Structure 1
Amino acid sequence: MQKKHIAVAMGGYSSEFDISINSGGVVCNALDKNKYEVYPIHILEEGWYHVAEDGTKYPVNRADFSFGNGKETIKPDAVFNAIHGTPGEDGYLQAYWALLGIPHTSSNYYSAALTFNKRDCLSVLKNFGVRAANSYYVNKGTEIHLNEIVLKTGLPCFVKPNRSGSSFGISKVHNMGEMMPAIEKAFTEDSEIIIETALVGVEVSVGVYNNGDEIIALPVTEIVSENEFFDYEAKYLGKSQEITPARISEKETEMVKKEAIRIYKILNMRGVTRSEFIIEKGKPYFIETNTNPGISTESIVPKQVREAGMTLTEFFDILIQNVIK
């Protein structure tokens, strides 16, 4: 059997690029070398390169996404997309690969762009009856009415950049004096921000993926942050407990899995995604969804995959086989 050429795209142009390089490394190590020739592709602002095992960098030809390996020019059969943030999670690369006819493991460009924009995503989902916190939107350069914000969201509330990941730029605001500094912090990441009521309950995270036409929810993870919320430190520096399976009732587990699958279908997602909820008074409230969730060893999805009784090699194989014709 001839091996398929798989490009693993990692890096990106956002604050999350180093987290993505980590995720990409995990994918490269886990992919079945009996089935696939694996090529790490670094997509960075300073250039796009295939980085060979000996550290040699071969430039990627952006006209057709081909690259050298020292012996020949490779045109990948598929791309495993491990980029968090722009341009791999917000639709740009998905549209580019679609134009070139190269299959990739992530959602299509429109679903990616829609889910990456928290405000647009919530607007769509609320029309389908998905429960979410009260929210208020502010754009850079417009007048800010603090009283109006607090009337809508109450205190405490969260101030978030509209389009960023890994909790960059997020603050929890407890009083009026903290509101403007939080807004200014969020504006360092994005020109659009979203302010939401701080829900009180159990925070959970649900991975969902497709295996062909079947859509499957992974075991639910409960997030217990030592910090005020699941921020960057909690996510990556060990300041949280991520408990899989979550310590919630069977009824709540089924409810949140069902809602995560429903959202996956509504937003027409593909590949693996991860949706966050807060279960308040027995009901799941949607926070956000990630179309390219973290897959480094400490990340939530790999823990859920192991809990489901699969290895990452088996799981990544499903994602690639979904897209290879």
Structure 2
Amino acid sequence: MKNIALLAGGYSGEYEVSIKSAKYVAANLKADKYKVYTILVTRERWFYVTESNEEISIDRNDFSLTLNGGKIKFDFAFITVHGTPGEDGKLQGYFDMIGIPYNTCDATTSAITMNKAYTKAIVNGVDGLHTAKSMQLFQHDGHDVASIAARLKFPLFIKPNNGGSSVGMSKVHNVAGLPQALERAFREDHQILVEEFIKGREFSVGIVRLHGELKVLPATEILTTKDFFDYEAKYTDGVTKEVTPADLSPEQYKTINRIVADVYLRLNCHGMTRLDFILQEETGDFYFIEINTTPGQTANSLIPQQVRAAGIDIQEFYDALVVGGMR
């Protein structure tokens, strides 16, 4: 029986989503194979809650837990922390240093993919993949709205560069809306991305390495009544409809599956990741939005939806992630 530390929580606005993800994963890790301990990660401390509601701190020197006078060491860390420190490479670097395997991309890839502008620079040039024209702005620099308007075509998307949850995003139709949108994004991050808006259908595609083989999962189309897929659209019932598998032609599936695999390999990803795209209305070209290296894992989340659509048992899926991560 292997001891699994299931890490949840984190420092971002997605704390509650992470807790729900961890509950779903815990319920679907094989009970005859794994003893699962959910470890809550907060800025103040990392701790385990016993059945009698006692909070026991983790010893971060060796990532161990002392329960009933006995010391529990972990064979594997299953990271379900969205945002920092679980998606940006910090936890990965820690586990690398103490020698505990985990389920996600490594520290370097996690850190790079958390930064939207750097990720776009790396995936630029993948055959058949397009990226919207954009500018990266830093808080300590001056921001001349006229120069932004001169370089990019409206409407524009303004978004925090390192945000994982669509918090702080705005869509702006003219120069007048820029100052407020920039201020809103800078409240979330000291780097922001100003990007030309690509009109079209939005898709999300999971990819995972299972039993040593790359497997692209069936795509999901995101249909929202909102102007764009923001935090409210993502987490409010009835605002968004998700269709899995998405209605795409065999040719489009072939294209998107190859693109997703190319991006995964180019970024040196591990475990499961999810890529978001826009299929541009006028041209039929695929435009890269972002990659998510610790995607949500609730029953309704996109990856579990896609796993079901692929006809894969969710317990077998998580089991393969653990086994693959231990190699």
TM-score, structure 2 normalization:
0.96
> In structure 2, the residue corresponding to 1:188 is in which secondary structure?
helix
Q: Report the counterpart of residue 131 of structure 1 in structure 2.
A: 130
Q: Report the counterpart of residue 41 of structure 1 in structure 2.
A: 39
> In structure 2, the residue corresponding to 1:303 is in which secondary structure?
helix
Q: Report the counterpart of residue 308 of structure 1 in structure 2.
A: 310
Residue 20 of structure 1 is aligned with which of 1, 18, 24?
18
Alignment of 1:266 with 2:266, yes or no, is yes
Query: What 5-or-longer segments of structure 2 have no aligned partner?
Result: none
Q: Report the counterpart of residue 297 of structure 2 in structure 1.
A: 295
Residue 79 of structure 2 is aligned with which of 61, 78, 81?
81
Deviation per CA, 1:125-174: give whole Å up to 9, x if none.
Answer: 21545411000111112111212212332111100000011101111111
CA distance in 1, matches of 2:215, 2:147: 41
Residue identity opposite 1:33 in structure 2 = A
> In structure 1, the residue corresponding to 2:136 is in which secondary structure?
strand
| Residues 169, 189 of structure 1: 8 Å contact kept | yes
CA distance in 2, matches of 1:29, 1:128: 38
Residue 8 of structure 2 is aligned with which of 7, 10, 20?
10
CA distance in 2, matches of 1:266, 1:77: 29
Q: Report the counterpart of residue 96 of structure 2 in structure 1.
A: 98
Q: Report the counterpart of residue 53 of structure 2 in structure 1.
A: 55
| Residues 134, 152 of structure 1: 8 Å contact kept | no
Q: CA deviation at 1:106?
A: 0.4
Deviation per CA, 1:192-217: give whole Å up to 9, x if none.
Answer: 00011110111000000001431111
Percent identity, aligned pairs only?
39
Query: What 5-or-longer segments of structure 1 have no aligned partner?
Result: none
Q: Report the counterpart of residue 256 of structure 1 in structure 2.
A: 256
Where do residues 68-217 of structure 1 align in structure 2 (5 Å cutoff)? 68-128=66-126, 130-217=129-216
> For structure 1, which segment, 94-103 or 175-184, has the greater mean C-alpha deviation from structure 2 after superposition?
175-184
Q: CA deviation at 1:71?
A: 5.0
Deviation per CA, 1:19-63: give whole Å up to 9, x if none.
Answer: 111111111111110110000000111210012233221110000
Residue identity opposite 1:48 in structure 2 = W
| Residues 50, 68 of structure 1: 8 Å contact kept | no
| Residues 272, 293 of structure 2: 8 Å contact kept | yes
| Residues 126, 262 of structure 2: 8 Å contact kept | no
| Residues 252, 282 of structure 1: 8 Å contact kept | no
Deviation per CA, 1:270-322: give whole Å up to 9, x if none.
Answer: 01100000011222111100110111122111110111112321111110010
| Residues 126, 263 of structure 2: 8 Å contact kept | no
> For structure 1, which segment, 44-53 or 145-154, has the greater mean C-alpha deviation from structure 2 after superposition?
145-154
Backbone CA RMSD of aligned residues? 1.2
| Residues 204, 223 of structure 1: 8 Å contact kept | yes
> In structure 2, the residue corresponding to 1:61 is in which secondary structure?
coil
TM-score, structure 1 normalization:
0.96
| Residues 217, 260 of structure 1: 8 Å contact kept | yes
Where do residues 218-233 of structure 1 align in structure 2 (5 Å cutoff)? 218-233=217-232
CA distance in 1, matches of 2:256, 2:68: 49
Q: CA deviation at 1:243?
A: 0.5
CA distance in 2, matches of 1:70, 1:182: 53
Q: CA deviation at 1:260?
A: 0.9
CA distance in 2, matches of 1:270, 1:311: 20
Which segments of structure 1 move beyond 6 Å, counting only runs of 4 or more?
A: none
Alignment of 1:243 with 2:243, yes or no, is yes
> In structure 1, the residue corresponding to 2:131 is in which secondary structure?
coil
| Residues 50, 69 of structure 1: 8 Å contact kept | no
| Residues 126, 259 of structure 2: 8 Å contact kept | no
Paired residues in the alignment total: 323
Q: CA deviation at 1:85?
A: 0.5
CA distance in 1, matches of 2:195, 2:49: 41
> In structure 1, the residue corresponding to 2:320 is in which secondary structure?
helix
